[in-house]
């Protein structure tokens, strides 16, 4: 299963998907010390983001978010990659500084087809996200 992206930058990576149904705020959704989704009521509350390729339909939050990705990367609890439906310069600038591949333009239906736990690859050079192995609870 392959999905096209419209914008992407960074190196090609593979990893486990963490799929959020809601827009992402680096400042307010995360425990930046431990790399855990910490916002009360967030659908992924308690999930570790360490080493995950994180998918969310959009982004929110001010420019302070630009530092959060670098801070988590330096602590070794950062994302492996970021894929959004739509994004803004804040997240892109933050990801580039932290050395994390980032992409946008993932169609909204992909958020129903890609599940948390799927093993996926993100290739910014071809603008493709590929599901390599689907995780399904038996």
Partner 1 sequence: MHLTDEEQDILARGDALADAFREQIQVGEFFGAERMVPVSNAHFMGDPEVFGDAGAAYLARLTAAGLRTAIPTSRNATCVDLEHLESFQQSKELAQGEIGVRKQLTALGVMAVNTCIGYQTLYQPRLGEHVAWGDTGTVAYANSVLGARTNYESGTASLLAGMTGRTPAYGFHLDENRKANAIVRVAATMGDLAHWGALGAVAGTRYRGYDNVVAFVLPDGVIPSSDALKHLAAAIASYGSMAMFHIVGQTPEASTLDMARGERGLLGEGEFSQADLEEFMGSYSPDDLAPDVVVFTAPQLSMFEIQDLALKLEGRKIREGTKMIITTNRSVYVEAERTGLLQTITGSGASILQDTCWYLMDPAQQRKSFGWNTLATNSAKLANIVKAHGYTPTVLTTAECILASTVALVASGAVSTQKGN
Among 17, 18, 44, 102, binds partner 1 (CB under 8 A): 102
Name the residue nearer to partner 1 (CB basis): 59 or 131. Answer: 59
Minimum distance from residue 138 beta carbon to partner 1 (Å): 38
Q: Does 113 bind partner 1 (CB under 8 A)?
A: no
Among 41, 46, 89, 137, binds partner 1 (CB under 8 A): 89
The tokens describing 78, both together, are 């950062």
Within 8 A by CB and 6+ apart from 74, the residues are: none
Other CB atoms within 10 Å distance of the CB of residue 4: 12
- Provide the β-strand partners of residue 54: 18, 82
Kindly indicate which of the ranges 11-19, 72-80, 111-119, 125-133 contains the residues binding partner 1, using the contact rule CB under 8 A: 72-80
Question: Tokens 């992402």 belong to which residue?
Answer: 24
């Amino acid at each position: 299963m392959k999905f096209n992206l419209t914008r992407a930058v960074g190196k090609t990576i593979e990893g486990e998907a963490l799929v959020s149904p809601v827009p992402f705020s680096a400042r307010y959704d995360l425990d930046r010390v431990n790399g855990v989704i910490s916002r009360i009521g967030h659908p992924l509350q308690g999930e570790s983001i360490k080493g995950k390729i994180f998918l969310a339909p959009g982004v929110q939050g001010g420019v302070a978010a630009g530092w959060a990705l670098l801070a988590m990367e330096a602590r070794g609890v950062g994302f492996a990659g970021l894929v959004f439906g739509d994004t803004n310069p804040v997240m892109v600038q933050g990801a580039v500084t932290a050395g994390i591949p980032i992409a946008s333009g993932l169609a909204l239906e992909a958020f129903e087809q890609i599940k948390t736990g799927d093993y996926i690859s993100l290739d910014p050079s071809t603008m493709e996200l590929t599901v390599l192995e689907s995780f399904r609870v038996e």
